[in-house]
C-alpha cells in the first residue's frame, strides 16, 4: 500500500423535490451566480476526506466529511472499477510542484474536485451546495428572502434561465423577462455553475445592485440590466371569492405550512358556498414532498396520489384518504411552464383521479426526487434518488404535463387580462 494525499472528499448528498422537498424553478432572492450543472436551487465541499455512502430510500441520508486539510491515508491498489484516489493525489502533487502561480487553498480545491465529479453524472439536480448557499436555502423556507424576485431553472445546456417573475418585484420593474438567460452577475460568470451556486450570486442584501448580463431571444448581443435587490415576502397562499361566485386559491410554494394554509383558505371559501374552485399552481416551483401529498389529499378521496421509483426498481406509493373538506367541490387547476415538481405531482394526481382538468400551458417537467444530505461543514449534498409518476403511471420528468385545455398568454395578450383564469371560470360555469 502507498500513502497518498486524497484531494477529493466525497460526501453523500442532499429541495427542488427532496425526500423532504421538491424544486423546479427556484426563487432568486438573496442570491449572489452561474450555470452548467442543472439543478434548482441546487455544491458542498471536497477535501481530503473519508466518504460514507448510504442508500436510504426515503429519510435523510448521512454523509460525513473530515477536515479540509490534506491527510495521509492507506489506499488499496486500484482496480479498473475503483475510484483512483492515487491518481488524484498524483495530480495534486504535480500541481504543487509545477504550477506557475498560487494554488487555491485546500478547501477550494476540494470543492472544485467534488463539483467536477458531479458534472460527470449528467444530472442537473444532483448538486453540491456550499455553506453560504445552504444558508440561503434555509432562508427560503421562511418565505422571505432578499434578492431580485424571479424563478429560475438550470437548462440542460447549462444556462440559467428566468422561468417567471414575481409580480411587483425588482426584476420585473427592471425589465427582466421570462426566457432571459443570465450569463453573469457583475464579473462573475454563471456558466458552468450548479443551480444553487448560480443563485447565490444573484441574491444579495436588499439595496444592493445585481448587474445582470442577459442573453435574450432576438437580441444579437447580450444586454446589461441592473436590478436593485429587495426583501421579498412571498405570500404562500392567496384566496378570494370571484364575482362569478367561484372560489379562487393560489398556492405559490409547497412550504412546511402549505397544507394548513390551503385548508384554512378552503374553510373560509366553502362557508360562502362557491359554485366551484380554481386552484392556481402557476409559477409554483415546488417544495416539500409531504406537503404535496397532503395538499392533494385535501381534494381527493381514498386512492393513489403518486408513485416514486428509484434506480434499483424499488417503488413507494403515496395515498390520499377520505374525509377532507375539498373532496366534492368542482374544480379546475391552472398550470404553466413555471409549475414544477410538487406542483406537477398535485396537478397530475388531481387530473388522473378525475377531480380536475388542467388549464393553461405545459408544466416544466421536473419529476426527479432529491435527498438533502447535510455535511459536517454546513454544506449540503443533494442527490437525485428517484423519479415521480402520476397515479396513471405517467412520467413527469423531462416531459411535463400537457394541459387538458391549452390557453397561452403571449406578448399580444392585453395588459391586465388573464385568459387562463377567464377560461377556468367559463369551464366551471358551463361545464366545458
The Cα 76–Cα 242 span in angstroms is 69
The Cα 84–Cα 164 span in angstroms is 43
pLDDT of 87 strictly over 90: yes
The Cα 271–Cα 267 span in angstroms is 6
- Give the mean pLDDT of the chain: 81
Q: pTM of this prediction?
A: 0.68
Q: What percentage of the chain has pLDDT greater than the value 70?
A: 79
Q: What pLDDT, on the 0 to 100 scale, is given for residue 177?
A: 94
Q: What are 113-147's pLDDT values in tens digits?
A: 998 999 999 888 898 988 877 876 676 655 567 89
Q: State in Å, rounded, how far the first CA of the chain is from the last one.
A: 74
Q: What pLDDT, on the 0 to 100 scale, is given for residue 199?
A: 86
Angle at 215 between CA 209 and CA 219, to 5 degrees: 120
Q: What pLDDT, on the 0 to 100 scale, is given for residue 37?
A: 31
Domain boundaries, the chain: 237-430
Superfamily of 237-430 according to CATH: 2-enoyl-CoA Hydratase; Chain A, domain 1 (3.90.226.10)
Q: What pLDDT, on the 0 to 100 scale, is given for residue 353?
A: 98
**Closest by CA position to 239, among listed 231, 251, 248:** 248
Residues 6 or more apart from 37 whose CB is under 8 A from it?
43, 115, 118, 119, 124, 127, 154, 158, 192, 193, 194, 195
**Closest by CA position to 197, among listed 122, 127, 143:** 127
Active site residues: 341, 352, 366
Give the least confident one: 50-54, 70-74, 169-173: 50-54
For 176, the enclosing helix (H) or strand (E) is: none
Q: What pLDDT, on the 0 to 100 scale, is given for residue 399?
A: 87
Residues 6 or more apart from 7 whose CB is under 8 A from it?
46, 47, 48, 70, 88, 89, 91, 92, 109, 110, 113
Q: What pLDDT, on the 0 to 100 scale, is given for residue 290?
A: 93
If pLDDT is split at 50, 70 and 90, which confidence band does 53 have? very low
Q: What pLDDT, on the 0 to 100 scale, is given for residue 235?
A: 72
Amino acid at each position: 500500500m502507498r500513502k497518498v494525499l486524497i484531494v477529493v472528499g466525497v460526501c453523500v448528498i442532499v429541495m427542488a423535490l427532496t425526500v423532504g422537498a421538491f424544486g423546479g424553478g427556484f426563487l432568486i432572492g438573496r442570491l449572489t451566480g452561474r450555470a452548467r450543472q442543472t439543478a434548482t436551487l441546487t455544491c458542498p465541499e471536497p477535501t481530503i476526506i473519508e466518504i460514507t455512502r448510504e442508500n436510504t430510500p426515503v429519510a435523510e441520508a448521512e454523509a460525513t466529511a473530515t477536515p479540509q486539510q490534506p491527510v495521509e491515508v492507506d489506499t488499496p491498489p486500484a482496480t479498473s472499477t475503483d475510484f483512483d484516489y492515487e491518481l488524484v493525489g498524483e495530480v495534486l502533487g504535480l500541481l504543487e510542484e509545477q504550477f506557475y502561480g498560487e494554488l487555491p487553498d485546500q478547501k477550494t480545491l476540494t470543492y472544485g474536485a467534488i463539483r467536477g465529479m458531479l458534472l460527470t453524472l449528467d444530472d442537473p439536480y444532483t448538486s453540491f451546495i456550499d455553506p453560504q448557499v445552504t444558508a440561503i436555502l434555509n432562508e427560503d423556507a421562511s418565505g422571505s428572502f432578499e434578492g431580485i424576485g424571479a424563478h429560475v431553472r438550470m437548462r440542460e445546456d447549462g444556462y440559467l434561465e428566468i422561468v417567471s417573475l414575481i409580480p411587483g418585484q425588482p426584476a420585473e420593474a427592471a425589465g427582466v423577462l421570462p426566457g432571459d438567460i443570465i450569463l453573469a452577475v457583475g464579473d462573475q460568470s454563471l456558466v458552468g455553475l450548479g443551480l444553487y451556486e448560480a443563485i447565490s450570486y444573484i441574491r444579495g442584501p436588499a439595496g444592493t445592485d445585481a448587474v445582470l448580463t442577459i442573453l435574450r431571444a432576438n437580441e444579437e448581443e447580450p444586454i446589461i440590466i441592473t436590478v436593485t435587490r429587495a426583501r421579498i415576502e412571498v405570500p404562500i397562499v392567496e384566496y378570494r371569492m370571484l364575482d362569478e361566485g367561484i372560489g379562487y386559491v393560489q398556492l405559490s410554494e409547497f412550504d412546511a405550512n402549505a397544507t394548513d394554509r390551503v385548508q384554512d383558505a378552503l374553510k373560509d371559501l366553502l362557508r360562502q358556498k362557491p359554485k366551484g374552485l380554481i386552484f392556481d399552481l402557476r409559477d409554483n416551483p415546488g417544495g416539500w414532498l409531504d406537503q404535496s401529498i397532503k395538499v392533494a389529499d385535501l381534494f381527493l378521496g381514498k386512492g393513489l396520489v403518486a408513485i416514486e421509483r428509484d434506480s434499483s426498481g424499488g417503488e413507494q406509493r403515496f395515498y390520499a384518504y377520505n374525509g377532507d373538506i375539498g373532496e366534492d367541490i368542482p374544480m379546475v387547476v391552472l398550470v404553466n411552464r413555471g409549475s414544477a415538481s410538487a406542483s406537477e405531482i398535485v396537478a397530475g394526481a388531481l387530473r388522473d383521479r378525475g377531480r380536475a382538468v388542467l388549464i393553461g400551458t405545459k408544466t416544466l417537467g421536473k419529476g426527479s426526487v432529491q435527498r438533502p444530505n447535510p455535511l459536517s461543514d454546513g454544506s449540503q449534498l443533494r442527490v437525485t434518488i428517484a423519479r415521480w409518476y402520476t397515479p396513471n403511471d405517467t412520467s413527469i420528468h423531462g416531459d411535463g404535463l400537457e394541459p387538458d385545455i391549452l390557453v397561452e398568454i403571449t406578448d399580444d395578450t392585453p395588459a391586465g387580462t388573464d385568459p387562463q383564469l377567464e377560461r377556468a371560470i367559463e369551464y366551471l360555469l358551463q361545464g366545458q
